[in-house]
């Protein structure tokens, strides 16, 4: 895709001494070019956002694995923690996460799309321990966080941006904190849905195939500073990779 040659991605250094910042307004957060070029229909157009924001849509896209993948995510999270969700997610994940963290915890959700932020704020109306603000996962601000969640974000961003986002999230961790990545993974060679998924990637998810070529730790500048562990699901098509600060 020729437009990729013109993208100007932010390159940020890992910062383990992050401070809290005021939530910026939508006008001050630029929507990345890859997002407007490839995903306007899915994440920016407010009509489509509301049409797609249903659990059954998420479950269909994940081949019936929505509940399972949310469950393995929540297994990593304890109530009372300070948690960052690095992008809005369709369906009930975010309010369920707010309930799981509980009133003694704190949940921050970030996104660059006004339509996504608006609909997410509606979901969290009854959860005072949760808030939504405009920010790009490449420059999340805030923190430090006990836990950071990347739920099917990496496969939707270009290769260079994957490096930037992974390091930005790692850099916002508190000592001993962890980033939990739930995303695609290279499936078993005989997986019956392997080639169907590859076709969907080719048509709708042009940046996803790199998740079959790289471990998530490959995108980290200093992977040795973290303990990494990966579990795969659905014959390898999905993964949970956890990076925990060693200190």
3-class SS at 86? coil
pLDDT at res. 247: 83
What digits encode the pLDDT tens for the residues 173-226? Answer: 999 999 999 999 999 999 999 999 999 999 999 999 999 999 999 999 999 999
Neighbours of 190 (CB within 10 A): 7
Q: By the 8 A CB rule, do 185 and 152 touch? A: no
Q: Kindly list the structural domains of the chain, giving each domain's residue range(s) and its CATH number in brackets, ordered by start.
A: 34-245 (3.40.50.150)
pLDDT at res. 101: 97
Say if residue 137's pLDDT is above 60. Answer: yes
Summarize the confidence of residues 155-160 as an average pLDDT. Answer: 97
Whether the full predicted model's pTM is greater than 0.85, yes or no, is yes
Q: What is the DSSP letter of 100?
A: H
pLDDT at res. 123: 97
Q: What is the DSSP letter of 43?
A: I
Q: What is the DSSP letter of 127?
A: -
What digits encode the pLDDT tens for the residues 214-227? Answer: 999 999 999 999 99
Neighbours of 214 (CB within 10 A): 13
């Amino acid at each position: 895709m020729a437009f990729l040659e013109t993208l100007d991605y932010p390159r940020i250094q890992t910062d383990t001494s992050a401070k809290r910042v005021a939530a910026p307004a939508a006008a001050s957060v630029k929507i990345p070019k890859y997002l407007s070029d490839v995903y306007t229909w899915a994440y920016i157009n407010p009509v489509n956002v509301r049409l797609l924001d249903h659990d059954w849509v998420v479950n269909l896209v994940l081949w019936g694995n929505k509940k399972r993948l949310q469950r393995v995510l929540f297994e990593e999270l304890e109530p009372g923690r300070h948690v960052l969700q690095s992008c809005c997610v369709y369906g009930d994940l975010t309010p369920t996460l707010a309930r799981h963290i509980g009133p003694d915890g704190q949940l921050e959700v970030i996104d660059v799309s006004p339509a996504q932020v608006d609909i997410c704020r509606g979901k969290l109306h009854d959860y005072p321990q949760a808030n939504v603000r405009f920010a790009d996962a490449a420059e999340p601000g805030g923190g430090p966080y006990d836990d950071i969640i990347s739920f099917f974000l990496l496969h939707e961003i270009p290769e260079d941006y994957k490096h930037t986002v992974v390091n930005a999230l790692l850099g916002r961790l508190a000592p001993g904190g962890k980033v939990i990545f739930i995303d695609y993974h290279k499936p078993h060679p005989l997986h019956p849905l392997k080639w169907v998924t590859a076709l969907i990637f080719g048509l709708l998810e042009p940046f996803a195939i790199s998740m079959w070529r790289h471990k998530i730790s490959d995108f980290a500048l200093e992977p040795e500073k973290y303990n990494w562990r990966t579990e795969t699901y659905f014959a390898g098509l999905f993964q949970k990779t956890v990076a925990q600060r060693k200190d």
